[in-house]
Structure 1
Amino acid sequence: MKFYHNPRCGKSREALKLLKEKGVEPEIVQYIKQVPTHAELEDVLQKLGMKAEDLLRKNEKVFKELYKGKNLSDSEWIEAMIAEPKLIERPILVKEDKAVVGRPPEKVLDLL
């Protein structure tokens, strides 16, 4: 399992704690430092069954300053997330051909 994590985020830390309590030690990707590639994000979105725009953190300052009101393609939104990884909703747990956004954190348990 792969866990896209931001250690500064309380929800992300809480989801990771829940996984560890269940004995799960996922591969942790600190996506702010290890920014996913375009192909990786496409793959995660496919596993989530989401459009790129639906994975954006629209309350982030950078979103409001640079992207609010824009109508971009999925590919362009993915490029925006690569340029500004803070825009990626977190946490995300990926297991085989499925993924979930841990909002609320308990959602990650759906993949166990």
Structure 2
Amino acid sequence: MKTRKICIALAAVLLSATTVVAKDLRTVVFKVSQMTCENCVKKINSNIRFEKGLKKFDTDLKTKTVTITYDADKTDIEKLKEGFRKFHYEAEFVKESKQGDKK
């Protein structure tokens, strides 16, 4: 009987902890005019991945865009743009959406 009460209490604590851990994930699209070839894509992929708060990203050479999903509690658009400047690329903000938005 005691074991059951302990398990129920533990489950309640774990469920409440997952609510607190919910992240403010956002997705931003940047236009990167310097991205003109596959080597540029490789340069972006190998450098931008180290930015704090970045969860995932996708580069599209055809449209010269980089789509980044990030944790807004750890970084923001300006810090991500600064990340591009570290390897001498300029990222122009196109649009942003919060997770769950249908934009």
Q: Which has the higher helix share?
A: 1
Structure with larger Rg: 2
